[in-house]
C-alpha cells in the first residue's frame, strides 16, 4: 500500500485514488524567463519518481505540467532584449525539455501553456466575480477576496489573525507576511503585453493559470498536486482558494511538496554566486544522471545539500554501479525478497535512500547475477538511471590496452602530460578512447 505525506493534513496517509487504476497528477512547471536551476530540477526529479512509483503500483497516471510563458519576469526580460515574449521564452522552453530528457524524466501527458488559455482564465475569473469571491478595481485589476473564502490558509497553516483584510497584493510572488487579496487579473498599459478582457486591457496573474489548466485536464477534483515547499504559499494556497471557490468541491486530495535544495548549506541565489543549472554540471564533466542519483540519495522531504563533493560521490556511485552490472548475466527470474523490500521502501512515502540501500545490499547477496539483473531492471523502472544501457555490456579490455592505460595514469599523475597524451593516442590506435572524468579515467562508450 502506497503511503504519501499529505500537506493538507500534515500526515502520512494511505493513497486512495478517486478512480483507480487512473491517477490524475498535476505538477507546476517552469517559468520560461531563464534556465531552470538545479533546485527546480530536484523537484522535477522527485515528481518523476512519484509518477514511476505510482506506475510500479499498477496505476495509470495522467500528468499535466504547465508552462508559465507570461509573467512579470518574462515581460521584463523580453523588454530588455527588445523581443516579443514568445521569442524571448522559446530558448528557455527548449532547454527545459532538454534537461528533462537528460535527467530521464518521463514526459507529462500535457504541457499546457498559459498564453494559450487566456479566454478560459477570463471565464474562470468571471465565475468568481459572479460568486462574489472576486472584485474588479477601478484600474481594471481583479482581486480574489480572501475574506469570502473561510478555508483560506488551510494548506500553509496560516493563522486567520494575520490576514490583512481589505488590502491587496499585485505581485505574483509574495511572502507569508503579505496575506492579502491577491490579483487574478492585472491591468496593464496599452503598450505593454496584454489581452482584452471585460475589465479592460491586462493579463492574468500566475496563480489562476494553474487552477484553470489543471482542472481543464484532470477534472474539478483530482488526486495529486505536486511541487516544492516554496510553492505552498502563496501559489498552492491561492490555487485552492480559486478552484474550490469556483466549484464548491475539493480541489485536490493530496498535496505533495519537495524540500529545498541547498548549495553548501546555503539558499541558492544568483547574487550569492551559488546558482547552478544542468549546463554547469555538464561543463564540469559530470553525467546529468549523476545529479539524478544525488537527488535519490536524500528523502524528498529533507533538504538536499548540493556540493561538488557530493556530486562527485554520486558520480562515483553511479560509475561503480555501471561497472558492477556490466558483468551481469542475462536477466532471468529475479530476487523476490529484494523486490519486495524495494517496493516497501518506495511505498513508504518514497523513501529512495532506503530503496538504494536495498539495491546495494542485493549486489552483495549470493543470488546469481542473472537474478540480480532481472531485479535491477525492475528497480530501475523507479530509479530511472538507464541502467539497462550497461547491463551485461562487458568491456573486454586487451592486456596490452590495460597496460597502456595504467602507464598513462602514472605519467599523468607525475605531471608528464606530453607523455600521457602520447599514450592516449596509442590507446586510441588500438580502438579505445579514454575520457578523464572527475573520478578517474574511463573508456568512452562507442
Ligand atoms: Zn502552479
CA of 57 to the centre of ligand 1 (A): 26
Q: Which residues surround ligand 1, an ion (CB under 5 A)?
A: 28, 210
CA of 233 to the centre of ligand 1 (A): 11
Q: Are 152 and 237 in contact (CB under 8 A)?
A: yes
CA of 337 to the centre of ligand 1 (A): 40
Residue 48 CA to its chain's centroid (Å) = 7
What is the reported pLDDT for 344? 98
Q: Are 355 and 342 in contact (CB under 8 A)?
A: yes
Residue reference for cell 530503496: 355
| CB within 8 Å of 374: residues ≥ 6 apart | 331, 332, 333, 334, 335
d(CA 355, CA 21): 24
Query: Could you tell me how many residues make up the chain?
Result: 446
d(CA 197, CA 172): 19
Ordered per-residue pLDDT tens for the chain, 446 residues: 999 999 999 999 999 999 999 999 999 999 999 999 999 999 999 999 999 999 999 999 999 999 999 988 999 999 999 999 999 999 999 999 999 999 999 999 999 999 999 999 999 999 999 999 999 999 999 999 999 999 999 999 887 556 777 789 988 888 888 889 999 999 999 888 999 999 999 999 999 999 999 999 999 999 999 999 999 999 999 999 999 999 999 999 999 999 999 999 999 877 778 899 999 999 999 999 999 999 999 999 999 999 999 999 999 999 999 989 988 999 999 999 999 999 999 999 999 999 999 999 999 999 999 999 999 999 999 999 999 999 988 877 888 888 998 899 899 889 898 999 899 989 888 888 887 766 567 776 54
CA of 236 to the centre of ligand 1 (A): 7
Residue 274 CA to its chain's centroid (Å) = 19
Question: Which residue, 414, 93, 442, is CA-closest to 286?
Answer: 442
Give me the helices (H) in 63-205, please.
72-81, 85-102, 118-130
What is the reported pLDDT for 437? 65
CA of 258 to the centre of ligand 1 (A): 14
CA of 27 to the centre of ligand 1 (A): 7
Q: Are 52 and 104 in contact (CB under 8 A)?
A: no
CA of 280 to the centre of ligand 1 (A): 26
CA of 52 to the centre of ligand 1 (A): 21
CA of 84 to the centre of ligand 1 (A): 23
As a dihedral over the C-alpha atoms of residue 83, residue 28, residue 269, residue 275, rounded to 10 degrees, the angle is: -80
For the stretch 141-159, pLDDT in tens is 999 999 999 999 999 988 7
CA of 113 to the centre of ligand 1 (A): 12
What is the reported pLDDT for 201? 96
Cis peptide preceding 21, ω within 30 of 0: yes
| 3-class secondary structure, 360 | helix
CA of 226 to the centre of ligand 1 (A): 9
- Give me the long-range contacts of 337-346 (CB less than 8 A, separation at least 24): 338/362, 338/365, 338/367, 338/375, 339/375, 339/378, 339/379, 342/375, 342/378, 342/379, 342/382, 343/56, 346/49, 346/53, 346/56, 346/382
Q: Are 155 and 255 in contact (CB under 8 A)?
A: yes
What is the reported pLDDT for 205? 94
What is the reported pLDDT for 445? 52
What is the reported pLDDT for 158? 81
Instruction: Report residue 236: phi and psi, to 5°.
Output: -70, -35
CA of 28 to the centre of ligand 1 (A): 4
For the stretch 318-362, pLDDT in tens is 999 998 998 899 999 999 999 999 999 999 999 999 999 999 999
| 3-class secondary structure, 292 | helix
d(CA 220, CA 238): 15
What is the reported pLDDT for 146? 93
What is the reported pLDDT for 227? 97
CA of 120 to the centre of ligand 1 (A): 16
Amino acid at each position: 500500500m502506497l503511503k504519501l505525506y499529505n500537506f493538507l493534513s500534515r500526515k502520512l496517509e494511505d493513497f486512495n485514488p478517486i478512480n483507480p487504476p487512473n491517477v490524475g497528477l498535476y505538477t507546476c512547471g517552469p517559468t520560461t524567463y531563464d534556465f531552470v536551476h538545479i533546485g527546480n530540477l530536484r523537484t522535477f526529479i522527485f515528481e518523476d519518481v512519484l509518477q514511476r512509483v505510482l506506475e510500479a503500483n499498477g496505476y495509470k497516471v495522467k500528468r499535466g505540467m504547465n508552462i508559465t510563458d507570461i509573467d512579470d519576469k518574462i515581460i521584463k526580460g523580453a523588454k530588455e532584449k527588445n523581443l516579443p515574449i514568445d521569442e524571448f521564452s522559446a530558448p528557455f522552453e527548449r532547454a527545459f525539455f532538454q534537461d528533462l530528457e537528460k535527467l530521464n524524466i518521463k514526459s507529462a501527458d500535457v504541457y499546457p501553456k498559459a498564453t494559450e488559455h487566456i479566454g478560459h482564465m477570463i471565464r474562470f475569473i468571471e465565475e468568481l466575480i459572479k460568486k462574489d469571491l472576486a472584485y474588479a478595481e477601478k484600474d481594471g485589476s481583479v482581486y480574489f477576496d480572501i475574506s469570502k473564502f473561510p478555508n483560506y490558509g488551510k494548506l500553509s497553516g496560516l493563522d486567520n489573525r494575520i490576514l490583512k483584510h481589505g488590502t491587496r497584493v499585485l505581485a505574483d510572488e509574495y511572502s507569508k507576511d503579505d496575506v492579502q487579496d491577491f490579483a487574478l487579473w492585472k491591468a496593464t498599459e496599452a503598450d505593454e503585453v496584454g489581452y482584452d478582457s471585460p475589465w479592460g486591457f491586462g493579463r492574468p496573474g500566475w496563480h489562476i493559470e494553474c487552477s484553470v489548466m489543471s482542472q481543464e485536464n484532470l477534472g474539478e477534483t483530482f488526486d495529486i498536486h505536486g511541487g516544492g515547499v516554496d510553492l505552498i504559499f502563496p501559489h498552492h494556497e491561492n490555487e485552492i482558494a480559486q478552484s474550490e471557490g469556483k466549484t464548491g468541491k475539493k480541489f485536490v486530495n493530496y498535496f505533495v511538496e519537495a524540500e529545498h535544495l541547498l548549495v553548501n548549506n546555503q539558499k541558492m541565489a544568483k547574487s550569492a554566486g551559488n546558482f547552478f543549472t544542468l549546463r554547469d554540471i555538464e561543463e564540469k564533466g559530470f553525467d546529468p544522471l549523476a545529479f539524478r542519483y544525488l537527488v535519490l540519495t536524500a528523502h524528498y522531504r529533507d533538504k538536499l545539500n548540493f556540493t561538488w563533493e557530493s556530486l562527485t560521490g554520486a558520480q562515483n556511485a553511479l560509475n561503480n554501479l555501471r561497472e558492477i552490472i556490466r558483468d551481469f548475466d542475462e536477466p532471468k527470474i529475479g530476487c523476490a525478497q529484494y523486490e519486495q523490500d524495494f517496493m516497501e521502501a518506495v511505498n513508504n512515502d518514497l523513501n529512495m535512500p532506503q530503496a538504494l540501500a536495498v539495491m546495494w545490499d542485493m549486489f552483495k547477496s549470493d543470488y546469481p547475477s542473472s537474478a540480480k539483473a532481472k531485479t535491477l531492471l525492475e528497480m530501475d523502472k523507479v530509479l530511472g538511471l538507464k541502467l539497462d544501457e550497461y547491463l551485461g555490456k562487458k568491456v573486454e579490455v586487451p592486456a596490452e590496452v590495460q597496460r597502456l592505460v595504467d602507464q598513462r595514469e602514472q605519467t599523468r599523475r607525475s605531471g608528464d602530460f606530453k607523455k600521457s597524451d602520447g599514450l592516449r593516442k596509442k590507446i586510441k590506435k588500438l580502438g579505445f578512447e579514454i575520457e578523464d572524468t572527475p573520478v578517474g579515467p574511463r573508456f568512452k562508450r562507442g
